[in-house]
Amino acid sequence: MDTIEVVSQFGRYVDAHSATIFVGAGLSQSNGYPGWEALLDPLRLELGIEPMEDLPQLAQYIVDGIDAGRERLRTRVVEAFNAVINPVPSLALRLISQLPIDEYWTSNFDHLLQEAAADVHVFAKDEDLVRLLEPGHRHIYKMHGSLDPPGEIVLTRDDYETYPITHPRFWKLLQAHFLTKTFLFLGIGFSDPNLELVFKMVRLFTADIKREHFAVVRRDGTTGEKAKLFDLRMNELERVGVNVLVIDDFVEIDELLGKLVARCRPPQVMVSGSAPEEVERTSTGDSYPTGELPSRSVAIAALVGQRFAHKGISSVAGGEIGAVVGYEAMRTLEGIDGYVPDRFTLVRRKRDEPVTPPNTRLGQIVFTGSEPTDLRSAALSEVRALLVFGGGSGTQAEVAGALESGLGVVPIGCTGGTAESLWNRMRGDLEGLLLGGRPIEGADFDLLMSGDDGEVAAAAVRLVEQAMFLS
């Protein structure tokens, strides 16, 4: 698979609240935490044996072959982890915490995932799973134990093989989740013993009906016979329903997760724009510069709003043109007895003064931030796509923020201003662009510049649906 396919397909399971993520060691190593080889190497040298690929077996030899081996091994792990100065969650872990997922699994001993996610219940020992917990928290299952809080950790071949006996609750819960949820395995390398855990679950639990899962696996620079073995193992995973994305470095996960976060935001579109710059008034005070909206922009916005109502699309706006779309959608819903306030959200800055227009009593109003940049960031963080009418410098800033956040942007070029400029830039590279993980239909995109009002509105809504991964 490629990144876009993983984002698109795994995102569907996130939308359905049937997704979970398994975090492997690769997402902690960027913070300076050692990998398995680095942890075991000093004790391997003391034991006097050659490097081994089977790391749990090497850990077993250390425990069996060195005096007080178990305690020496655990001490080695604790000291190596404590040697990392002021570790902070990586970008990947921070992005994971932004996903609307309630449960995470990890084989890592460190505290970075729970620090990134915040407001979580951590389960690090088998008996933790019998606790009565307060509702409203996400869960992190540290299936191999934890150094924070301290406890027993899974390291050796015996630990892995007896795990179903020593950790029956964890093992049964992992089985249940593997059978009923869709996993995305992240931070797992070809030599990671937890890749064997994936194979074990696949072999045990996919005999009849295969549940779709996803794994991002680092190639580890394998060549020759190892490269052939790697390909065969990845093919085996895919054959039994685990879709594999092969990467060369764990930093590629940041890009994947950034796109996934944008894909999994609330299924809403932000409507941006104002009068084109050439007809804007000079701004006064700290308000956005505004001008008389062109009649064609208003007509198209009203048609878009009607179509949003019938298509079930919710919108967010901070300005007049977005209010035209939202209020028209609300009126249409009233007419078909389907009015729901949260289908349109008007965002306003927090102020002591009265609310300025547009302030029609339809939809809902959210007050957030005190500056235009705060308002823009808050709105963009709650949508999957941006629909652009006309606009000047303020609209340009919103477009830049949307693109930086990985959102799909649909410019209605015939409304002039920023929308027209953006339409021209995109049209010049349309074959190289994706919207909602798919190529952009040229005929629909061209209608945004030259169709009649009805055609423009219909094409805009089709492209918004695509940008939001709804079509």
User: Are residue 250 and residue 314 in the same domain, yes or no?
Assistant: no
Domain edge (last residue) among 209, 242, 262: 262
In sequence order, what are the beta bridge partners of 19? 182
In sequence order, what are the beta bridge partners of 186? 23
Tell me phi and psi for residue 108, to 5 degrees. -80, 150
Number of domains present in the structure of the chain? 2
CA 249 vs. chain centroid, Å, equals 19
Domain annotation covers residue 64 = no
Q: Map residue 241 onto helix, strand or coil.
A: coil
The CA distance from 136 to 101, in Å, is: 12
Cβ neighbors of 11 (< 8 A, separation 6 or more) are 260, 263, 264, 469
pLDDT of residue 370: 63
Token representation of residue 66? 């060195």
User: Are residue 274 and residue 257 in the same domain, yes or no?
Assistant: no
User: Are residue 294 and residue 418 in the same domain, yes or no?
Assistant: yes
Domain span at residue 402 reads 266-467
CB 398 within 8 A of CB 272: yes
Closest of 254, 274, 252, 272 to residue 262, by C-alpha: 254
What is the secondary structure of 67-93 as a DSSP string?
TTHHHHHHHHHHHHHHTS-S----HHH
130, exposed or middle or buried, with CB in 10 Å at 0-12, 13-18, 19+?
exposed
Closest of 361, 375, 277, 373 to residue 326, by C-alpha: 361
pLDDT of residue 192: 67
Domain annotation covers residue 304 = yes
pLDDT of residue 96: 95
Q: Which secondary-structure segment (H or E) carries 3?
A: helix 3-15
Closest of 163, 219, 195 to residue 55, by C-alpha: 195
User: Are residue 367 and residue 391 in the same domain, yes or no?
Assistant: yes
Domain annotation covers residue 54 = no
Written as tens digits, the pLDDT of the chain (471 aa) is 899 999 999 999 999 999 999 998 888 887 888 888 888 999 999 999 999 888 899 999 999 999 998 999 999 999 998 888 888 899 999 999 999 999 999 999 999 999 998 889 999 999 999 987 777 789 999 999 998 767 789 999 999 989 989 999 999 998 889 888 999 999 887 666 777 777 777 777 666 667 889 999 888 766 778 888 888 888 888 877 789 999 988 889 999 999 999 999 999 999 999 888 654 444 443 444 445 788 999 999 999 999 999 999 999 998 899 999 999 999 999 999 999 999 999 988 777 677 777 878 899 988 877 676 777 788 888 999 999 999 998 899 999 999 998 899 999 999 999 999 999 999 999 999 999 989 999 999 999 998 899 999 999 999 999 999 998
Domain annotation covers residue 278 = yes
User: Are residue 432 and residue 349 in the same domain, yes or no?
Assistant: yes
User: Are residue 15 and residue 110 in the same domain, yes or no?
Assistant: yes
User: Are residue 152 and residue 192 in the same domain, yes or no?
Assistant: yes
Domain edge (last residue) among 262, 277, 306: 262
pLDDT of residue 134: 74
pLDDT of residue 237: 82
pLDDT of residue 288: 43
The CA distance from 255 to 90, in Å, is: 13
The CA distance from 362 to 339, in Å, is: 9
The CA distance from 358 to 321, in Å, is: 9
Domain annotation covers residue 75 = no
- Cβ atoms < 10 Å from Cβ of 432: 9
Domain edge (last residue) among 235, 262, 289: 262
pLDDT of residue 190: 66
Domain annotation covers residue 312 = yes
User: Are residue 248 and residue 390 in the same domain, yes or no?
Assistant: no
The CA distance from 30 to 247, in Å, is: 15
Cβ neighbors of 446 (< 8 A, separation 6 or more) are 427
The CA–CA distances, whole Å, from 187 to 92, 111, 167 equal 10, 16, 23
CA 110 vs. chain centroid, Å, equals 22
User: Are residue 177 and residue 245 in the same domain, yes or no?
Assistant: yes
pLDDT of residue 284: 40
| Amino acid (one-letter) located at 139 | H
Dmax over CA atoms of the chain, in Å, equals 85
User: Are residue 200 and residue 99 in the same domain, yes or no?
Assistant: yes
pLDDT of residue 412: 97
CA 250 vs. chain centroid, Å, equals 16
User: Are residue 378 and residue 354 in the same domain, yes or no?
Assistant: yes
- CATH number, domain of 202, equals 3.40.50.1220
| Amino acid (one-letter) located at 65 | G
Tell me phi and psi for residue 316, to 5 degrees. -130, 140
- CATH number, domain of 363, equals 3.40.50.450
Domain annotation covers residue 393 = yes
Compute the Cα dihedral for 172, 175, 180, 185 and give only its sign: positive
User: Are residue 383 and residue 351 in the same domain, yes or no?
Assistant: yes
pLDDT of residue 279: 47
Tell me phi and psi for residue 61, to 5 degrees. -60, -40
